[in-house]
Amino acid sequence: QDVIQVSKKYLPGMAVGYSSAKLTLHVGDGFEFMKQNQEAFDVIITDSSDPMGPAESLFKESYYQLMKTALREDGILCCQGECQWLHLDLIKEMRQFCKSLFPVVEYAYCTIPTYPSGQIGFMLCSKNP
């Protein structure tokens, strides 16, 4: 919640999406939220911190299984997927379990100069082949 408030205060031009009528933002325990919602979402975006400490569970098969259950029939998800130059073993593990859950799985990345490696990746999954 603090990140959102600081973004609105110091980066108002980048934080305009928070006021969109199309946005429903949930900040909290992703596992608990997913358990409470089945076939409820067209899109799930998980913007997590790195896969250590409290966020480690968000990079595990059990969380992806909960997201799959929370997605509608044609749902898609996009989750933080780390950097291929620094976390290739984790990415391979994630792709493997995602392929057992979803008919479509892709890894994508973008460049972000302020990140340690200069890039960040995303795991993209779809229930619709």
* Per-residue model confidence (pLDDT) at position 53: 84
- Confidence label for 125 from pLDDT (cuts 50, 70 and 90): very high
* Per-residue model confidence (pLDDT) at position 88: 96
Mean pLDDT of all residues in 106-116: 93
Alpha helices in 1-129 (DSSP H): 2-10, 30-35, 61-70, 88-101
| pLDDT digit string, tens, across residues 45-104 | 988 888 888 889 889 999 999 999 999 999 999 999 999 999 999 999 999 999 999 999
* b/e 44-54 (16+ beta carbons within 10 angstroms → b): bebeeeebeee
**Exposed (0-12), middle (13-18) or buried (19+): which is 60, by Cβ within 10 Å?**
middle
CATH numbers and ranges of domains, the chain: 22-126 (3.40.50.150)
| pLDDT digit string, tens, across residues 12-53 | 999 999 999 988 888 888 788 888 999 999 999 988 888 888
pTM of the predicted structure, to 2 decimals: 0.83
Give catalytic residues, as residue numbers.
47
* Per-residue model confidence (pLDDT) at position 90: 96
